[in-house]
Copies of this chain bind each other. A is one copy, B any other.
Amino acid sequence: MATETQRTIRAGIVGYGNLGRSVEKLVQQQPDMELVGIFSRRDSLETETSVFPVAQASEYADQIDVLFLCLGSATDIPEQAPGFAENFTTVDTYDNHTLIPQHRKAMDEAAKKGGNVALISTGWDPGMFSLNRTMGEAFFPKAQQNSFWGTGLSQGHSDAVRRVEGVKYGVQYTVPATDAIEAARAGKGENINKYEAHERRCYIVAEESEHERIRETIVTMPDYFEPYKTEVNFISEEEFLRDHQGMPHGGRVITTGDLEGSRATIEYSLDLEANPDFTAAVQVAYGRAAARLAAEGRTGAVTVLEVPPYLLSPTSLDELVERDI
């Protein structure tokens, strides 16, 4: 039986937005991690952690066991992540689903070149939802599977409503349809598409004379809103600042199937007060796994589907067997 040697994992962070700040506070709570510093383009950040210039990151390669890439998926990760993977064992939360195979290939080449591990696309979707999709499917000869997102704040859609002229404050929540969730649980999710399964609910602060134009602009916005059922609520600035400052999110993966005579339903669900905090929590745990895999001599890109789950925990395998199995 394998028994791993516990040693302190020296961590670094690149990027200091919502995700980077969440990773910082969570790394500090890990019994087996030490935060060496944050790499940033800025000279100083509002933190007590050491800050180093990101341009000189490679000089710190020997001092860091795992580098948390807390960078945006739109451009930063595709442009910068392979460069970091040449010098560090990395963990990212790259979430552009259709481009993940390309990202995996680029990170695999870079990480192998540097003799590092690049643990890609952690978080909850991709991440824990991916894992539950794969495991759910593996148990049924013919699985029926649906993913639902929300109720939660969509950053992209909130940005879109805020770009509408006349919108002072705006926010968009994705809301899954209760009847679609019930249908999925009953194994009748085959024909559910994501447009029918989700509604979009907006809360907007704007002058009353602008309400109708703004509502029309939002509900007819193609791709973002057009095929979806969209509800636009105008509220006071006071109510907005009181009730709509958080970043709640969540969702569920439901898998059903007929086990040659009986039906079974598996449901994995998340209810998150702050989306970046949970994404960071998953990233930090996979950071532990990445450092351990690298210490074992593994190199190249690794997905969440390939990680033995006990590597996520600071508790030893023997203790986990006694406690959790």
> Hey, which bits of chain A sit against chain B, CB under 8 A?
1-2, 22, 25-26, 29-30, 97, 100-101, 104-105, 108, 121, 126, 128, 130-131, 133-135, 137-141, 185, 259-274, 277-278, 280-282, 285, 288, 300-301, 303-310, 312-315, 317-318, 320-325
Contacts and interface: CB of A to CB of B under 8 A. Distances in A.
Given A26-B141, A26-B260, A264-B273, A325 B303 contact: yes
Given A104-B321, A308-B308, A312-B135, A263 B268 contact: no
A269 B265 CA distance: 8
A280 B260 CA distance: 11
Contacts of A318: 101
Contacts of A104: 1, 321
Copies of this protein, total: 2
Contact of A325 (B97, B267, B271, B278): B97
Given A1-B104, A141-B26, A285-B139, A134 B309 contact: yes
Contacts of A267: 267-271
Contacts of A323: 133
B325 A305 contact: yes
Contact of A134 (B108, B305, B306, B324): B324
A324 B255 CA distance: 13
A121 B285 contact: no
A265 B259 contact: no
Nearest to A324: B133
Which of A270, A282, A309, A320 has the most chain B CB within a 10 Å cutoff?
A: A309
